[in-house]
Homo-oligomer: A and B are copies of this chain.
Amino acid sequence: MTPRGTTPTIVDVAREAGVSIKTVSRVLNHEPGVHESTRDQVLKVVEALRYRPKQSARSLAGGRSFLIGLLYYDPSAIFVGSVQQGATVRCRELGYHLVVESLHNDAPDLRQQIDRMVMALRPDGMILTPPLCDNPEVLAALRENGTPCVLMSPERDLRGVPSVRMDDVHAAEEITNLLLSLGHQRIAFIKGPPDQSASAARYQGFVNALRAHGLEPDPELIQPGAFTFESGREAAHQLLSRRQRPTAVFASNDDMALGVLAAAQRLGLPVPNDLSVAGFDDSPTAALVWPPLTTVRQPVAEMARTAVEMLVTGQRPDASAGPADEADLHKVLRHELVVRDSTRAR
């Protein structure tokens, strides 16, 4: 019997089951070559004793920590909640746990912070979210200490470094197509900041869709923006005070679209009656304004799930199987068009 008040160890299970601890270990790790009856017997005892192997012992002996690290920067990022939801659930399913670390993208001791975490915890893999996944210093630190990484929505894919993303170009095309199909011809576009690759991708999608319909983007209707509420408001003020107003505005993220809504309201232009507005991201706010925003939902939780899987599955640090197929390294997940009340046929 296990001493009362003490948590059972593998030794207790082995004694109780009448086998060696090695056999218990084999059963617990799903290793092949254990007689079915032996396995059943062990599992029965495990159940009875409510035994769970201790992570620190497994980690010390086996060299795997069963920990996945999540590095993120902006606490207000719409991302965080969904990333975590997806990542923790998938981790649990796979017998892993998620350790979260918030870093400052421009902290002087960024490298030290990462080293410290990696050396202490030895996570079996690390998920990087923007903007950290585009920080060369972070990537270099992780590569040096040999921690496998998956980048979530990086600016651009790196050869040999796994990543998960959605297709911004395609999604922007779909939003634009929606507006076109509603009969809009004068569609304005508010761009993101030039230093983010999503900005160019979304604009590209917008242009693609127009051209596919035989239209050319009208320079008068293209405004710069910064992915912020304020920049959206300013851009909208410009656009809506033109002699010939657009009948629809596609703001390339939700925060800017909210700014457009505010500007329209300020100018007494009812949305969607006199103006259709579309955003991009499906931020929590998008559904909490009037009218609720038509937008694109990034599959954030799914991306996180996928990242965990790639980390747990691709455990071949020595690349014994030869260089992994580059295409398999970069996954693109399907987004979702969310049509709400801010868009209407003209």
Contact = CB atoms under 8 A, between A and B. Distances in A.
Interface of A: 7, 50, 52-57, 59-60, 65-67, 70, 75-78, 80-82, 84-85, 88-89, 92, 97-102, 113, 115-117, 119-122, 229, 255, 258, 261-262, 265-266, 284-285, 287-290, 301
Contact of A113 (B67, B92, B102, B116): B92
Nearest to A258: B288
13 contacts: A7-B119, A50-B115, A50-B119, A55-B56, A56-B56, A60-B60, A67-B99, A80-B80, A84-B100, A84-B102, A92-B101, A98-B99, A99-B99
Given A262-B290, A289-B289, A81 B77 contact: yes
B80 A289 contact: no
Nearest to A72: B84
Nearest to A229: B288
Contacts of A122: 54-56
A295 to B, nearest CB: 14
A280 to B, nearest CB: 15
Contacts of A117: 97
Contacts of A92: 101, 113
Contacts of A265: 265, 290
